[in-house]
Amino acid sequence: MLNYFRPKTIKECLEFITDERVYIAGGTDLMVELKKGHDLSNKTVIDLTHIPELSGVKKVYGELEIMACTTHDDIVLNKDVNKCLKALSLACRTVGSPQIRNKGTVGGSVGTASPASDPMPALMLADGRVVIINKKGEMREEKLEDFIIKPGVTTLKNDEMILSLKVKSLEDYKQSFFKIGRRKALAIARLNFAMAILMNNDETIKDIRIVVGAALPVTKRFYDIEKKLIGKKITKEVIEQVSKQISEQVLAIAGPRKSSEYKIPVIRNVINRMLKEMEV
Amino acid sequence: MDFKVVGTSQTRWDAEAKVTGKAEYTRDIPMHNLLYGKVVRSKIAHGRVINYNLEEALKVPGVIKILTADDVPEHTYSTAGHPHKLNVKFQDKKDTNIFTRRVRYFGDAIGAVIAETELAAEIAVNKIKIDYEQWPFYLNSTDALQPGAKEIHDGSGNLVADTTNEYGDVDKAFKEAKYVFEDEYHTQTVQHCHLETMVAYAYKDVDNRWVCISSTQIPHICRHILGDAFNMPFGRFRVIKPFVGGGFGNKQDIVIEPLVMAMSMAVDGKPVVLEMTREELFVCSRVRHANDYKMKIAIDENYHITGIDMDVLSQNGAYTSHGHTIALVGEEAAMELFNVENFRARSRTVYTNTAVGGAMRAYGTPQAAFALNSLAGKAARELGIDQLEFQMKNVPKSGELCNGTQVMFFTSELSECLRVGRDSFDWVKRNEDCKKFNLDNSDRKRGLGVGTLIYATNTKPHSPSIESSGCRLILNQDGSVKMMIGATEIGQGSDTVLAQMAAEVLGISYDNVYVDKYTDTDVSPFDPGSFASRQTYVSGMAVKKAAEVLKVKILEAYILFTPLYSEIDLDLVDGYVVFKKTGKKLESLGDLALKTYYDFHKGNCLTADVSINCQTTAYSGTACLAYVEVDTKTGKVEILDIMNVHDAGKIINPMLASGQVEGGMAMGIAYGLGEELLYDYNNGKPLNNNLLDYKMPTCMDVPDLKVAFVEPIDPTGPFGNKSLGEPPLSAPAPAIRNAVANAIGLEINSIPLTPQRVLETLNK
């Protein structure tokens, strides 16, 4: 037997949570899985799409709180996101098709932990944290890097659900997002990247953030490389060095695969180009 | 020639019905007590069904019956939708069973479930357990031809055919050539991807005949093949074709109709429906042959191409279907394009354990056009000459005789197409711009390229098929005309242009010609159907002749009532009988028609019923010019501008013609840049047989498409017209490929030009 619940409030929702729970936050992955024969019998399906509290973006003290069931399209249209985390707007704009952007949600994208998630690099760019609530109503926060263990696996326990995502405002940063798919629309990312940079008046780097998605099993921010760049000017040598290091690291993590021959040089080229564009 | 209705952009009569959703496609037709069929498909690529375990499946509530290979006729038939040939030598290979124990590809039809609901059928299919004997499988031509390879069809050596065609003196041409260029090329497997999948009903009617309602391009041939498949007289079948959501050649094979008919026969003629899923359609219907070429051209000191020597391996898939004719049509495209005097081609069509290759828009010419145009592009680049000028010099001109086929190029204005393209595409200036751009930019490179094609109209001259068509016209009581044709409308607009032709001859307006909504073998005159870009030409001849016959009858009727005039003094203009000399309107067609119907003494209904046999063909020309930018850091190819220029003779309906060309260009761009059906070499299973993973271009990926026509009046066409349905898609892929090669200065010889392939070439 399959149970299906469609709560109207978070409180109501928590009551339905069981060990066999499956969430629908937009259904853009789950419906496809179902069609492929994914077995949901004996599961409790909780449809989160009719909980108004779970949708929307709040701005609190230099931070944005994006509720879990905010759709990609809502994010694209949201003024605060556009202002504070442009990279996320850009990323959500590239997700699937208009239909998918109208249904798919940021919380769903994080929860399924797909390596090809488009919002993920942008969220990580801004020190993204996952806000989690359990059946008892207890809340906890976890950094995105820690939350996602491997493709499709997170630290979310059976009695928990994602409530929202908190990201830092990067309003003063120059930001960019870049995606390579097999076509311009209706394509998941083969590679995606997010970058943000804040410069000092003397044209040295005050802060820089570099994230690589899709090519890796888990989206990664390159803290070590970022740190070494602070205080430096963006010279040709620096650009060459950084793009080389990142592509080498990606290869080391992902291991040589059939597609590496294409992906590794392209990662290097794209990082190179994004850094150059940041400089201008 | 002055035309009134021909050459104008009339709105297709079914446009409103289609955009408002009122047009009934096959699956929209309501049917009482309908049963649902679902095919059991093999889960291995090559082998034999040893045992069917049906027990669990039969227990599923709603299951009526399960059919296996043992329940259908043992004899084989051909699915290829060619008209029957009386000469046994030319007949298509009969190698298909309705259901088979001998599995030849992943997804082969080995049985079927008939159930009360679609869901029950599907559940039952999944509960059937099959024991197989598995054999080695081959997913490309080269592997299938390895010595000792298991034969997919006994006694075939995995070859459908191995032919060599030669004329002139090829060895001499190459010996005397100033320049010789050669290279190897590969084209991939693609699928038609029409919106409406394959779908058909079958049932026994009250007259005890078997009816098949099907989304087919070839209703009359479908009836013939059903007769073959069941060894029953053709008259015992009736085929009805409602509105069709695209075919592109895939529905020129009779794939599911015998299956659904067998299902209905198994349940005493109750109506059964069979509808392919998209996943099935990709691999269990038909695909375009993937070809491997070795291509060689000889060029003299005047840059004249004097000889072609080519070798092709054509990947046919698991059953013969259209088989070797695809490769042979490709050969002819190579003979015709530069009308060379010396030509040799060896073509081998190879059985593989993959989706069956069949007819697909432009039938074997996109592959050959890719290989030959790419080699011409390479030659031009290495000789340091302009590719467009080089092709212009070498393509056949009006009045030449085709050396290969011995058919006249009565009109052949491909060089004019290239000239029009060159001027409106700003070819010369843009070439200069590219050079400058490429000097200034290290990351991005730009280039221009050309692709061309000469394409016959209808199946001549290569095929020994009959080219006939029928048309019946009836003058209605109000002076309007009922038109009945066997030509098959599948979305391309043939009903509209054929109605325009009838209106033209009869001097009436387009909206006074009524066309049947369905094609029905009980009602519609014989016509082989929609393929080979033949209908505007061949069926047009039938319509023209029928209209001329009816016109004479109308004028004779007028004289019968008004014996003051002679027939030669009269004409039909704007719905009136007029006196030719003065243009004076004598009587409206409506008044005359009413008299002819009901005059007590002289009245009779005026009709014309003709069938014609077409003995001619005409060569149309296509030029595609492409302007691209290659991102050398990601390998991505961006089309900055693209244009097709066609010589299709007189254009009957400019709006529909442009639509045809734009659709073809999009398909050609997809062929060049993106689409490819892939298989898993571990188990022979298709990898991307769905519209998510098989990347058709979206509207975001297709740039603005430019279209132009050059319109010589061809003396053989009914209104000076020639083929247009298929040609548009053959030229874009080589044009884009040549543009990319010019941009990066490197040859890429395989399509699709994915970013990965481009980048690998750049990094080599």
pLDDT-based confidence at A258, cuts 50/70/90? confident
Indicate which of A269, A270, A277 best probes the interface with B, i.e. most B CBs within 10 Å of its own CB.
A269
If asked whether residues B307 and B442 sit together in one domain, one would say yes
Based on the fold, state whether residues B114 and B256 are members of the same structural domain.
Answer: yes
A–B CB contacts, 8 A cutoff, strictly below: 45
Would you say residue B763 has pLDDT above 70?
yes
Same domain for B219 and B308, yes or no, is no
Check: CB of residue B266 under 8 Å from CB of residue B63.
no
3-state secondary structure B213-253: EECCCCHHHHHHHHHHHHCCCHHHEEEEECECCCCCCHHHE
Boundary residue ending a domain (B284, B305, B335):
B284
Q: Are residues B552 and B626 in the same domain?
A: no
In-domain check, residue B169:
no
Among B117, B113, B112, residue whose Cα is nearest residue B34:
B117
Residues in chain A: 280
Chain A: residue whose CA lies nearest to B759: A262
Are B723 and B531 in contact by the 8 Å Cβ rule? The answer is no
Nearest CA to B143 out of B689, B679, B749, B751 is that of B679
Confidence of residue A278 (pLDDT cuts 50, 70, 90): confident
* CB < 8 Å to B695, chain A: 182-183, 187
Nearest residue in chain B measured CA to CA from A273? B633
The second-level CATH assignment, the architecture, of A174-279 is 2-Layer Sandwich (3.30)
For residue A280, pLDDT over 70 is answered with no
- Same domain (yes/no): B623, B566: no
The answer to whether the Cβ–Cβ distance between A262 and B760 falls below 8 Å is: yes
CB-based contact B14:B243 (threshold 8 Å): yes
Q: Are residues B96 and B242 in the same domain?
A: yes
Task: Kindly state whether residue B166 falls inside one of the protein's structural domains.
Answer: no
Chain B residue nearest residue A179, CA to CA: B634
Q: Which residue blocks in B562-614 are alpha helix, DSSP H? A: 589-598
Kindly state the average pLDDT of the residues B166-193.
Answer: 98
Measured in degrees and rounded to the nearest 5, phi and psi for residue A232 equal -95, 160
Question: What letter represents residue B25's amino acid?
Answer: Y
| Chain A contact present for B690, CB below 8 A | no
Looking at the structure, do residues B254 and B295 belong to the same domain, yes or no?
A: no
Which residues on B lie below 8 Å from A182 (Cβ)?
A: 674, 695, 754
pLDDT at A257: 83
The Cα A70–Cα B422 span in angstroms is: 52
Question: Region A124-134: what's the mean pLDDT?
Answer: 97
Q: What is the CATH number of the domain that holds B277?
A: 3.90.1170.50
| Structural domain contains residue B380 | yes
Q: pLDDT value at position A2?
A: 85
8 A C-beta contact, residue B265 and residue B511 = no
Peptide bond into B136 cis (omega under 30): no
Whether residue B311 is found in the same domain as residue B268: no
Amino acid at B753: L
Nearest to B617 by CA among B494, B714, B497, B489: B714
A261, pLDDT greater than 90: no
- Domain positions in chain A: 174-279
Q: Any idea which residue has 């050959």 for tokens?
A: B368
Q: For residue A183, which residues of chain B lie inside 8 Å, CB to CB?
A: 674, 695, 697-698, 700-701
Contact B339, B145 (CB under 8 A): no
Domain assignment present for residue B379? The answer is yes
With respect to residue B299, please indicate whether it lies within any of the assigned structural domains.
Answer: yes
The pLDDT score that the predictor gives to residue A32 is 86
- Best of A240, A262, A272 to substitute, by most chain B Cβ atoms within 10 angstroms, is A262
pLDDT for res B2: 86
Q: How far is A28 from chain B (nearest CA, A)?
A: 13
Put simply, whether B301 touches A (Cβ < 8 Å) is: no
Amino acid at B540: G
Q: Which of B613, B642, B670 is the last residue of a domain?
A: B613
Two tokens, residue B249 = 């050649």
Alpha carbons B278 and B260: distance in angstroms, whole number: 18
Question: How does DSSP assign B174-227, residue by residue?
Answer: HHH-SEEEEEEEE--------SS--EEEEEE-TTS-EEEEE--S-HHHHHHHHH
Six-digit token string for B566: 């002679």
Let me know if residue B2 belongs to a domain. Answer: no
Of A180, A183, A265, the CB nearest to B763: A265
d(CA A179, CA B168): 54
Q: In what order do the strands lie in the sheet with B305-317?
A: B159-167, B342-351, B305-317, B290-299, B179-186
The pLDDT tens digits of the residues spanning A67-87 come to 999 999 999 999 999 999 999
Predicted ipTM of the assembly:
0.88
Of the pLDDT bands very low, low, confident and very high (cuts 50, 70, 90), residue A42 is: confident
A273 and B759 within 8 Å at the Cβ level: the answer is no
Strands B636-647 and B705-710: parallel
Q: What pLDDT was estimated at residue B1?
A: 61
Does B342 fall in a domain? Answer: yes
Name chain A contacts of B636, Cβ cutoff 8 Å.
180
Helical ranges in B299-355 per DSSP H: 324-337
- Tell me the CATH number at B396: 3.30.365.10
B242 and B346 part of one domain: no
CA separation for the pair B676, B670 (Å, rounded):
9
Residue B181 lies in a domain: no
Helix/strand/coil for B510: helix
Asked if B82 contacts B358 with a C-beta cutoff of 8 angstroms, the reply is no
Considering only residues 341 to 360 of chain B, which have any Cβ-Cβ distance to chain A shorter than 8 Å?
A: none
H-helix segments, A115-256: 119-125, 144-147, 223-229, 236-254
pLDDT at A57: 97
pLDDT in tens, B657-670: 999 999 999 999 99
Geometric angle at alpha carbon B686, from B684 and B689, rounded to 5°: 170
| CB distance B618 to B410 below 8 Å | yes
pLDDT digits (tens, 9 = 90+) for B360-419: 999 999 999 999 999 999 999 999 999 999 999 999 999 999 999 999 999 999 999 999
Tens-digit pLDDT profile for residues A197-240: 999 999 999 999 999 999 899 999 999 999 999 999 999 999 99
Q: In this structure, which amino acid lies at residue A77?
A: L
Residue A89, C-beta contacts closer than 8 angstroms, at least 6 positions apart: A75, A76, A78, A81, A82
Say if residue B379 is in the same domain as residue B392: yes
Are B717 and B618 a contacting pair, CB within 8 Å? yes
What Å distances lie between residue A31 and A25, A214, B280, B394, CA to CA? 11, 22, 20, 56
Q: Decide which of A257 and B337 is more confident.
A: B337
Residue recorded with tokens 């080498």: A248
Closest CA to B198 of B107, B111, B98, B274: B274
Q: What is the mean pLDDT of residues B78-100?
A: 95
Nearest CA of chain A to the CA of B382: how many Å? Answer: 28
Average of per-residue pLDDT across A140-163:
96
Asked if the C-beta of B633 comes within 8 angstroms of chain A's C-beta atoms, the answer is: yes
Percent of chain A with pLDDT over 70: 100
Domain that holds residue B543: 15-22+468-613
Domain count across chain B: 3
Considering only CB atoms, which chain A residues are within 8 Å of B692?
A: 32, 186
Tokens of B409: 């190029």
pLDDT at B461: 87
Is there a single domain that holds both residue B300 and residue B449? yes
Determine, for residues B755 and A180 on separate chains, whether the beta-carbon distance falls below 8 Å.
Answer: yes
Question: Residue B629 — pLDDT band, cuts 50, 70, 90?
Answer: very high
Give the rounded distance of the alpha carbon of B187 from its chain centre.
18
End-to-end CA distance of chain A: 60
Facing A270 at nearest CB: one of B633, B674, B697? B633
Residue with tokens 């070839």: B218
- The residues, any chain, with a CB within 8 Å of residue B441's CB and separated by 6 or more, are none
Residues B276 and B300 grouped into a single domain: no
